[in-house]
Amino acid sequence: STTPLQGRVAVVTGASSGIGEAAAEKLASLGARVAVLARRADRLQDLVERIAENGGTAIAIPTDVTDAAALQAAADRVETELGGADLLFNNAGVMLPAPVEELAAGQWQHQIDLNVTGLMNAIGAFTPQLVRAGRARGVADLINTSSIAAQNIFPAFAVYSATKAYVTHLSRHLRVELGAKNVRVSAIEPGIVGTELQSHVTDQGALDWLEGSKESMEWLTPQDIADTIGFIAALPPRVNLQQVTIMPTAQP
Ligand code: NDP
């Protein structure tokens, strides 16, 4: 079938750009109805209109995922308007590398607030819907965006890498806890993908490293990750890709 996700309801955080935006379009093209979350309402509205033009269904729910109450309100809307989620692509995140001597500049807190607390807020708000869907239809998905940074050592990326190690390890635990309830849990760990993520970086050393890496490799595109998310979601209910590391071919 070209619409293997027909009847499913997906929630995508960080859907206003990059990986989340591409994944929302992919999931919609595979037949899921999609709720798109991020802070930039105008970008979400454009995405919803594009999905509709391509024959899909999506709703925009402008949400700051660091605000637990806002996420709970978003979950209530998904419940009322779409009948509850059976897929959460928990993807909003930020990467702000800096040498540890510069911790005082405060970028560490923002990464923990979004990559850890924001991720948890979404899990807290939507897991009851996923568990209910798992019980009712035999399958639901929680897909968390981690990073190759969870595994490898990149200088100045300590805090970012630690937030992503949290995401990967949490996912392994939740997979065992929720798998028993027909909720599959996956962590996706991309190498470098060309998105707006790099545009927030201020550390000159990290900027030079990122720019220099383009000489030796072709970065992944958001579409590459979106295709993988679609693949994971469309697998038969008995199959759970626990951890997917997806790298530019030439990235060491
Ligand atoms: P982008 O910067 O393009 O996307 C980040 C998304 O998160 C945006 O939609 C942004 O929207 C949203 N976001 C930021 N802050 C908040 C917030 N407080 N509440 C809700 N949404 C928020 O980067 P990517 O697409 O690359 O990043 C997506 C994920 O992929 C991140 O978790 C990142 O760590 C991970 N990743 C990226 C890699 C890469 O090389 N690009 C590699 C490995 C992992 P808005 O500003 O409108 O809120």
| Residues having CB within 6 Å of any atom of ligand 1 | 13-20, 38-40, 43, 63-66, 91-95, 114, 118, 145, 147, 190, 192-193, 195-197
CA of 113 to the centre of ligand 1 (A): 13
Chain-centroid distance of CA 141 in Å reads 12
pLDDT of residue 1: 67
What is the phi/psi pair of residue 239, to 5°? Answer: -105, 120
What distances in angstroms separate CA 52 from CA 27, 79, 178, 231, one per listed residue?
Answer: 13, 20, 33, 22
pLDDT-derived band of residue 136, with 50, 70 and 90 as boundaries?
A: very high
Chain-centroid distance of CA 64 in Å reads 14
Q: What is the ipTM of this complex?
A: 0.99
List the catalytic residues: 160
Q: For residues 12 and 34, give the distance between their C-alpha atoms in angstroms, rounded to a whole number.
A: 7
The model's pLDDT over 178-235, given as tens digits with 9 standing for 90+, comes to 999 999 999 999 999 999 999 999 999 999 999 999 999 999 999 999 999 999 999 9
Cα dihedral 208, 211, 216, 218, rounded to 10, equals: 150
CB 186 within 8 A of CB 143: yes
pLDDT at 15 over 80: yes
Beta-carbon contacts of residue 228 (< 8 Å; ≥ 6 apart) = 188, 244, 246
Alpha-carbon torsion (219, 223, 228, 229), positive or negative:
positive
Q: What is the CA radius of gyration of the chain?
A: 17
Statement: the pTM of the whole predicted model exceeds 0.80: yes
Tell me the average pLDDT of the chain: 97
Domain 9-246: CATH class, spelled out: alpha beta
pLDDT above 70 covers a percentage of the chain that reads 100
pLDDT at 165 over 90: yes
CA of 122 to the centre of ligand 1 (A): 14
CA of 128 to the centre of ligand 1 (A): 24
40, 91, 228: residue to mutate for ligand 1 pocket, most atoms within 8 A of CB: 91
pLDDT at 237 over 80: yes
**What residue's CA is closest to ligand 1, atom 48?**
39
The model's pLDDT over 44-56, given as tens digits with 9 standing for 90+, comes to 999 999 999 999 9
Task: Please state the domain extents for the chain.
Answer: 9-246
